[in-house]
Amino acid sequence: MKSIYVTSPTLPPLEEFIPYLKEIWDNKRLTNMGPFHNQLEAALAEYFGVKYVSLFCNGTVALQIGLQALKVTGEVITTPFSFPATTHSIYWNRCAPVFCDIDAETYNIDPRKIESLITPETTCILPVHTYGTPCAVDEIQRIADIYGLKVFYDAAHVFGETWRGKSLLGYGDLSMISFHATKVFSTIEGGALISNDAVMKKRIDYLKNFGIADELTVVGPGSNGKMNEVQAAFGLCLLRRMDKALEQRKDVAQRYMDRLSGAKGIRCLQEIDGLTRNWSYFPILVNEALFARSRNAVYDALKKQNIHARKYFYPLISNFPTYRGLPSAGREKLPVAEKTSKSVLCLPMYPDLPGEDVERICGIVLG
Ligand SMILES: Cc1ncc(COP(=O)(O)O)c(C=O)c1O
C-alpha cells in the first residue's frame, strides 16, 4: 500500500534548474549575496507587492535575526500554538517568552488576552498567522501603539496570500516567511524577512552576514543567515509555477470541504472575507463529543492505511521542558490552546494530491 504523507514538496522541472546550475558553475558565485540571491529578492518583493525582502538560509535564523534587528529585550508575548522555532527564537535572543492563549475561531493569539500580560519588561508581540489565517492585526497594532511595543509576525505559512487588498506580509514592523521544503513555496531550506523601510533592510542584511557592514566595520554580533546561490536558483525556477500550484491547492481543499465541512463534530478552516487563502495546510478540529471518535483515533485509523496526517501543533510549546516552568505556561492559563492542540489534525495537502486519494482519506476520517 502506498504511503501518503502530510505534504510532498513542489519541485521545478529538472531541465529548468540545470541551466541555473551551469551558470553557477561558470561564474563560481556560490554564496554571499550572489546574482541569483539578488534576483530572487527582487522577484519576491514584486510577487508579494512589498517593499523589502531579505533572504535567509532558513526561517528560524530569520526569526532570530528579526528580533535582534528590532532590538527586542525583556519579555515577548507570543502564542504557544505554533512550531517550536517561534518560541526558540525568543529564547536565543535572551528574552523571556510570555504565552498568550489563542482564539477558538482563528487559532491565532487572542487579542483580548494580550493586555493583561503586558509588564514594564514587555517590548514585543510575536504572533503567528497560523495555517495562513490572518491575526487580528488592527487590534494587535492598537495595543502595540498604546504600549510602545514592536509587532513581529511569524508569517511562515502565508506565501501568496493577500488580505484586504494587500499581502499579508505587509503588516506589523516585520514579518518572517519560511521557504522550507514543506511550505507552499520553497528554496529547499530558506526564509525571508519582510521590512518596510530601507534602514531596517540594511540592518537586517548586516546582521545576517555576521554584522559586517564593510571591510572594516562590524556593527553587531550578527549570525550567518545567508541564502546560497543554489537555493536561490531553485526558488527562481519554482516561483514561475506558483500560480498553478496555488490553484491546485484550492481544488484539493474544495474536495476536502465538500466531504468534511458538513460532518458533525469536524471543523475545517473558515472562509474569511477579503482573504485569498493559500491552503498551505488542511487542519481539521475533531470534537470528540460530537464526532464520537477522538482526534487520536482518526490519526491512528489513517496511519493503519499508511496515511500520515500530523498533529500540528501538539504538544503546545508551553508544555516543552524548556518553557513549562514559566508563569504564563500553566495549562489552566491557556485553555483554548490546550483544547485546540488536543483536537487538531492536519490532513495531507499538496498541489498534486490526487482526487481519489482525497476521497479515500475523507472516507477513513468519516469512518
Ligand atoms: C510557524 C512556523 N514558524 C517557524 C518555522 C521555521 O521555519 P524554517 O523551517 O524555515 O526554519 C516554521 C516551519 O518550519 C513554522 O511552521
- Give the sign of the dihedral formed by CA 69, CA 318, CA 272, CA 4: positive
Domain 243-366 has CATH 3.90.1150.10: yes
- Closest atom of ligand 1 relative to the 128 alpha carbon: 1
Q: How far is the CA of 148 from the centre of ligand 1 (A)?
A: 27
Distance 192 CA to ligand 1 centre (A): 11
Distance between CA atoms of 169 and 234, rounded to whole angstroms? 22
Pocket test for ligand 1, best of 7, 54, 60 (most atoms within 8 A of CB): 60
SS3 30: coil
Q: Which sign does the torsion angle of CA 22, 28, 30, 33 carry?
A: negative
Q: Is 191 in the pocket of ligand 1 (CB under 6 A)?
A: yes
Does ligand 1 come within 6 angstroms of the Cβ of 85?
Answer: yes
108 pocket-lining for ligand 1 (C-beta < 6 Å): no
Task: Tell me phi and psi for residue 256, to 5 degrees.
Answer: -60, -45
Q: Which of 97, 94, 75 is nearest to 86 (CA)?
A: 97
Domain spanning 14-239, CATH architecture: 3-Layer(aba) Sandwich (3.40)
Give the domain ranges of the chain: 14-239, 243-366
* Tens-binned pLDDT, residue by residue, of the chain (367 aa): 899 999 999 999 999 999 999 999 999 999 999 999 999 999 999 999 999 999 999 999 999 999 999 999 999 999 999 999 999 999 999 999 999 999 999 999 999 999 999 999 999 999 999 999 999 999 999 999 999 999 999 999 999 999 999 999 999 999 999 999 999 999 999 999 999 999 999 999 999 999 999 999 999 999 999 999 999 999 999 999 999 999 999 999 999 999 999 999 999 998 899 999 999 999 999 999 999 899 999 999 999 999 999 999 999 999 999 999 999 999 999 999 999 999 999 999 999 999 999 999 999 999 9
Please provide the DSSP assignment of 132-182 as one string: GPPP-HHHHHHHHHHHT-EEEEE-TT-TT-EETTEEGGGSSSEEEEE--TT
Burial category of 25 from C-beta neighbours within 10 Å (exposed 0-12, middle 13-18, buried 19 and up): exposed
- Predicted TM-score (pTM) of this structure: 0.98
